[in-house]
Structure formats: structure tokens, C-alpha cells
Structure 1
């Protein structure tokens, strides 16, 4: 199995932001030392999540501090980036990292409309903006010169310099949830990330992805590579005992949920309503913490003593997961507490699953 490390922790106040940024750099360096194969950066604005805010600039700092670990984005919120600027930044990052960049792309969170408002946008056309930006991004790396006239962007680009190390450019990943998205990404040969997927559904979704790969006519080596890369995101917390892990993780998750509900209520504009189809027991403000917590522990978390977490990882392996993304920071979790959990996982869990 491959293990990745993902950061989505919270800086509780502006006064702590600088220290928290330094701590996240230290955590990434520790992830590389422990043998994690990739680190994934989230992108959120204005409220202390993804405290570095600018994931691209932060990735450049990580490229200078690391040597082997791949650096991914989960995900770049495409409507917030001019695609030519983004193509240039990612090409430079690929050079700085010597070809270690992976780029998850998305249309922006469906919950945080205030992020769109802060960028002078609304989310109504976010999917169309994303698709046009992705088209320009990929073509900018391949075509010189590039002439493009779309709904949102009209550009004339002589060429992108420097060229990415990875040709024709860093891999573009998609975050997928619905069954049809797994099949479609397989057909198109796109690497995938997915998050809160119950164990009972994983094999079914992985089979849909494999079926899509077969429909797309990809060669055997490509199919094997993409199936091995297909990544599942889980909250991961390892303590000395099962009871300690459940108690501490539960408190951190409830703190995270409280923050999430507060900022959406405080900053989302009054004319914004979330499509009910996009809600689940964790994200729906009408669901109590007492009901939301068991849901997220069951569908999105690996936690306990090292022995118990090894059993949980084995369960995922046995239904086909070969690439696990581990979020080890939640809420305003203490830096040393995060490192302790990471080290237990890296030293007492991961070695049991190395190829």
C-alpha cells in the first residue's frame, strides 16, 4: 500500500498563524521521514483552515524543504485561479520539486459560498469556470502558441516557460463522489481522490473505476498504475489505547464541526442555500452533534491503538484500497499531539503494509 499525508487543520487565531505555518512545514518534513509517499494540500480562505491559504506558494516552500515526497493539491479550487497564471505556477513548481507535483482540481466547495464572494464571484457557474480553466491549463502545457476564446477567458499565449518536468504536465486528479464520476474518470484515464466512502461501498466504486478504465481502452500498465493510485481520504488518529483515541478524536472533530458551522452561518450571504442533495449527517446543520459524530467516526475515520488501526487499514486493503491519504490534524490540535499520532502510524502501522 501507499500512504499519503493530508493537511486540513485550523489556526484558531490570526496571532497563531505564523507559528502554525511553521508547524505544518515541520509536519510535512516528518511525514517524509516516516515514509509517507505524498503530501496533499487543501485550499481554503479567510477563516483559519488551510492556514497558509495560498497552497501553491506553500508548496514551493515544501519543495525546497523536502527531497522525495510528492506534493499534491486536494484540491485547487479552479474558479479562484486564472488558468494561464496557474499553468505557469505549476510548471515552476514542477521544476522546483524535480517533477514531484500532483494537481487535484475542483470547482470549489459547495458549502463555503463566502470564499466565492471573497474572490468577487458566486458559485452558480463554478463548474463551467472549472471546465474551461482545466481545458486552458492542459492546452497551455501542450500548445505553443495557444489561442483560446471561451466564455470566461480569451487568451493568446506564445508559450509557457519553464516547461513542466513531467510531460505533458503534472497529473491532474479529480475528486469523485457519485458512482458515475468513478466510471467517467476511469474512461478518461484520470487519477481519482475520494473521501467519506463507507467500507461497504469501496469495492463497488473501485469496480466502477476499473470498468471505466476498460471502456476507455487504456493499456494494462496504465490501468494498473491508475488503480494503484486511486486514493481514499480518511481522518487518522493513533493513541496509546482505543479509548483514549476515541475520546480525543471525538473532541477534536466536534470542535472542527463547530467551527465549520459557525463560519458558514456567519459569512455565507443570506441568499445562498446549499443543495440538500449535497448534505450528509456531518455537514447538515440540522443534525445534532450526537448523531453527526457516530456518522463521521464510522464513515471517515481510522482511530485507536496501533493494533486496532492496523486492523482498520487491513480492512481497507482487503476491499481494494492501495493508496490511503491520512489527515492527522483536526481543529486546533496541538502540534506535538499531531506528531505523536503521525509517528505511531508511521512506525507501528505503515510497516505492516509496505509492498
Structure 2
């Protein structure tokens, strides 16, 4: 069956309202736990107000303490901004606090916001290589009961043993982000599930077909391919209201304001410093409401989810609170989704076969 989760990615434009928005986030986490949402995904962004709680590791501890059943995932921890041993320790502690409710989503860090690297004193050109080295260190830390040494380009380590040991064995559940087709195919060849960023349904279907084919071509059997598809997630922005007209009235302005705010500091830095990490020659799917926003009545949203289900992916990461949308509006949308949309997908679906 298609599984559903919430991407808690709250904007705070006014620093004086940060505490209020963070409190709203805890309330939203509790609501999702109450309604049976499977995973609450947390983001990591710095300095711009695009993610009010900023530090998902610290915030995850608060969510785990405030909830009983919901899993807490990272979408993603910006690994290139962290010391890998510190991050491994923190994830292991969270895994113990949640008794296995943690999903360690890893990624290199933003591909757009150069100021996040500047603020941490890390050259953005090193992001990918830092991520790759750090991921290996974290996996060794979790699975080396006698300790280990590491000599790499960015870290030289002699670790006696990681404490606390992870609750989940052999290590906390790990999933990687893939924002590009090549990134998805790289993970396919490793036989790993992945998190996909916002794309149109057409791009999603094509990419997942290539992903399945690449995994099969790398020698993984049909059962493994099906398992990885079931453990992979795609992201969509979602607004549910009683009617299509009401959902569009609420959702489209909030979505457009969110995209404008997310670009604001990036463009200011470019104007001031002449530095840009990735030049977009055409508007990407994530900023096009026709591709990146599902807004409608429960029946309309259910039809859209059925189209996603047809791609064979296991889960949808739904981002409900968009931009300046008030918390109570997002809460109504979440409740409508879980009460009137999600139950339509509760019956087991047929297994996916590898292409």
C-alpha cells in the first residue's frame, strides 16, 4: 500500500516569531502522531528562516519526546556541514530515545544556498567529497564495536568505540537523498532505496523506471528491487480542503510566496558577492505549481495520489504547511488528508515487478 508522511518544513520570516513557529511545529508533530502519519520528516536549513527550527537533530529529540508512534526522519541532514563522529553519536542517541523510530536521511547539503556553507566556514566545492567521506565514517562508527581508525582527506580519526551503541542493529536505518537522475541511478547500482525531491509525475515515473532497470542490471533480484521501491519516497506539496476551489485559493498563493522567500537570500548573496552554486536556466519542477503542488478536495487529492502509486514507489512525503500558511490551516489540511484520503490506500496493493 502507498504510505504517507509529513515533511515538517516551516517558514519563519520574522525572527521575533521563531519561538511561536517552533511551538506550532511541536503541535503539528503531535497531531500527526495522533492521526497515524507514518513518518515526520525534518529539514535542515540555516540563516534564512526557510526552516524555523534550523537544527533537525536537536528538534528530533523534542519530537521523539512529545510523540509515541510516529517515526522521525531527516530529509535530509546536511552531512557536509557536520563532523561525522558527532553526527553518528547524535543519531545513535536519537535511535535510543525513539527505540528505533529514527530514519537517518543523509545528503551532502544544499545545492543552492552558498551562504549555508559560508556561515559554517566550509568551501561549497567540497560538499560532495565531505559527504561521501563522512557517510563512510558514520557507518564504520556504528558497526565497529572495537573502535576504528580513519585517514581521509578531511578527517583523521582514532575512535575507541562509539557510545551509545545504536538501538537498531547493526545501525540506525539509513536512506539517502537523490536530487538528480544520475544520483538515483548511482543508488540503484548500490541496491539502495532513496528520497526523491519534488518532480512532475512524468519525471517521477521515468526516473523510477530507470532506477528499477539499473538495479536489475546491477544483478539485484526482483524481490530486492521491489523492496527498494517500497522503501523509496517521493516529495509533493499538498493542500486539502473541502472543495478544489477552496484548496487552490489557500494553496497557490502560499506555494508561490514560499518559493519567492526561498530564493530571496540566495539572490541577494548573488547580487552582493557574484557567487551562485547552481544556475537554473529554466524553472525547475519544484517551483511550478502545476507540477509541484497538489491542491484539491479529498477526492481530487486521492486521484493524484493514485497516479503516484501507479509509479510503484512506496511512499509520499507530503509537505502540508507551505510558506506563510497559518498553522491552523495546515492542521485542517492534514486532518482531511488522513481522514478522507489516506484510508483509500489502506488495502494492500499488488507487488511491483522489476522492469
Question: Which residue does 2:70 correspond to in 1?
Answer: 69
Specify every segment of 5 or more residues in structure 2 that has no aligned partner in the other structure, as ranges.
348-355
**TM-score, normalised via structure 1 length:** 0.92
1:227, 1:267 → 2: CA distance? 39
What CA RMSD, in Å, does the superposition of the two structures yield over aligned residues?
1.8
Q: Give the conservation status (yes or no) of the 8 Å contact 1:34–1:343.
A: yes
CA shift, 1:167, in A, is 1.8
Partner of 1:48: 49
Q: How many residue pairs end up in the alignment?
A: 344
Q: Which runs of 5+ in 1 are unaligned?
A: 284-291
Is the Cα contact below 8 Å between 1:185 and 1:212 reproduced in 2?
A: no
Q: Give the C-alpha shift of residue 253 in structure 1.
A: 1.5
Distance in 2, Cα, partners of 1:320 & 1:220? 13
- 1:183: Cα distance to partner? 2.4
CA distance in 2, matches of 1:9, 1:185: 29
SS in structure 2 at match of 1:138: helix
For 1:272, the equivalent position in structure 2 comes to 275
Relative to the length of structure 2, the TM-score reads: 0.92
Q: Shift of residue 78 of structure 1?
A: 0.9
Aligned counterpart, 1:286: none
1:335 corresponds to: 327
Aligned residues of 1:172 and 1:190 also touching (Cα < 8 A):
no
The alpha-carbon deviation at position 280 of structure 1 amounts to 4.1
**CA shift in 2, pair 1:110/1:183, >3 Å:** closer
Deviates more, 1:342-351 or 1:208-217: 208-217
Q: Match of 2:291?
A: 299
Which position in structure 2 is the counterpart of 1:250? Answer: 252
The Cα shift of 1:279 comes to: 5.4
Please identify, of 249-258 and 267-276, the stretch whose mean Cα deviation from structure 2 is larger.
Answer: 267-276
In the TM superposition, residue 225 of structure 1 has moved relative to its aligned partner by: 2.4
Distance in 2, matches of 1:279 and 1:110, equals 15
CA drift of 1:234 comes to 0.1
CA contact (8 A) 2:255 2:289 kept: no
How do 1:21-170 and structure 2 match up within 5 A? 21-143=22-144, 144-170=146-172
Whole-angstrom distance in 2 between the partners of 1:234 and 1:303:
10
Q: Is the 8 A contact 2:10 2:21 kept in 1?
A: no
After superposition, the C-alpha distances for 1:109-140 in whole angstroms (9 at most, x for unaligned) are 12111111110122111111111111111111
**1:214-253 residue pairs with structure 2 within 5 A?**
214-218=216-220, 221-253=223-255
Deviation of the 1:195 alpha carbon: 1.9
**Structure 2 CA distance, aligned partners of 1:17 and 1:178?**
32
User: What secondary structure is seen at the aligned counterpart in 2 of 1:18?
Assistant: helix
Q: Give the Cα separation in 2 of the matches to 1:236 and 1:159.
A: 43
> 198-207 or 153-162: which moved more?
198-207
Aligned 8 A contact 2:71 2:102 in 1: yes
Deviation (angstroms), 1:251? 0.8
Q: Is the 8 A contact 1:104 1:175 kept in 2?
A: yes
Alignment partners' CA distance in 1, 2:219 and 2:71: 28
